[in-house]
């Protein structure tokens, strides 16, 4: 399974690295990181650099493509060469996937029209602008499209994908290898569970950091 993970300046590192850790653990799966240009990209907080070994333009096909989220993907939504590359990869892929606000990029490429999809809980409604039906879920499978909720949800999605593609035994072995037996010490990981003031705080902070994406939700501010 030839797997390509798109990275870019301003991505959220865990969106990409969670699924990477799952995919790279599957025997025979080859994972490659690509970006607009070869070399370093910086994550959204700025304090970590990840290396893309090839520019995406050098990759003509993949069995599995993953688009992570992060504040930096606002500019990708209008990057026509990148969106055309995604459409081309999607034509030949077995799985086209995203984590967090990566689903907005799939949407901008026109890949979500009439499809059920999810993403970070703060950025579900903007999916409608791309003709998608937003769905609340840890991950949502619609045909070969597999979209995950925010950041950490990529781990769950990737294990699901491995189970679908190679079978539950391999997925269980990968899960055991990365000791994915989560026990969050708090229970505030979704707005349906978190105290209202915490939801308000995170919404305000995220909108302030990320005005480009939040304005997508408001058709008056295209």
Which residues contact a second copy (rule: CB under 8 A)? Answer: 12-14, 17-18, 20-21, 24-25, 30-33, 40, 43, 45, 47-51, 53, 100, 120-121, 138, 149-153, 155-156, 159-160, 163, 168-169, 171-173, 175-186, 188-191, 193-195, 197-199, 201-202, 205-206
Minimum distance of a second copy from residue 164's CB (angstroms): 9
Assess whether 206 carries a catalytic annotation: no
Distance CA(31)–CA(7), nearest Å, equals: 13
Distance CA(45)–CA(87), nearest Å, equals: 29
Cα torsion angle, 182, 153, 8, 210, sign: negative
Closest CB to a second copy among residues 131, 212 = 212
| Residues 143/144/149/153 CA torsion (nearest 10 deg) | 130
CB 157 within 8 A of CB 99: yes
Minimum distance of a second copy from residue 67's CB (angstroms): 16
CB 165 within 8 A of CB 94: yes
Q: Which of 4, 100, 104, 171 is catalytic?
A: 100
Closest CB to a second copy among residues 84, 172 = 172
- Strands 39-42, 49-52: parallel, antiparallel or unpaired by DSSP? antiparallel
Closest CB to a second copy among residues 26, 83 = 26
Minimum distance of a second copy from residue 204's CB (angstroms): 10
List the catalytic residues.
Answer: 100
């Amino acid at each position: 399974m030839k797997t390509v993970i798109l990275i870019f300046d301003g991505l959220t590192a865990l969106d990409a690295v969670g699924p990477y850790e799952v995919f790279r653990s599957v025997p025979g799966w080859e994972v490659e990181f690509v970006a607009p240009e070869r070399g370093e990209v910086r994550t959204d907080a700025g304090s970590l650099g990840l290396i893309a070994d090839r520019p995406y333009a050098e990759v003509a096909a993949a069995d599995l493509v993953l688009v992570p989220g992060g504040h930096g993907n606002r500019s990708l939504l209008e990057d026509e060469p990148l969106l055309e590359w995604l459409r081309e990869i999607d034509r030949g892929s077995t799985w086209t996937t995203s984590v967090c606000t990566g689903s907005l990029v799939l949407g901008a490429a026109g890949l979500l029209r009439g499809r059920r999809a999810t993403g970070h809980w703060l950025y579900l409604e903007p999916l409608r602008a791309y003709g998608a039906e937003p769905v609340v879920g840890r991950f949502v499978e619609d045909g070969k499209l597999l979209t995950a909720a925010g950041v950490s949800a990529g781990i769950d999605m990737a294990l699901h994908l491995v189970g679908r593609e190679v079978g539950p035994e391999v997925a269980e072995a990968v899960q055991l290898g990365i000791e994915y037996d989560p026990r969050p010490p708090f229970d505030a990981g979704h707005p349906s569970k978190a105290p209202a003031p915490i939801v308000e705080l995170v919404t305000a902070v995220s909108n302030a950091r990320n005005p480009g994406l939040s304005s997508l939700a408001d058709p008056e501010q295209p």
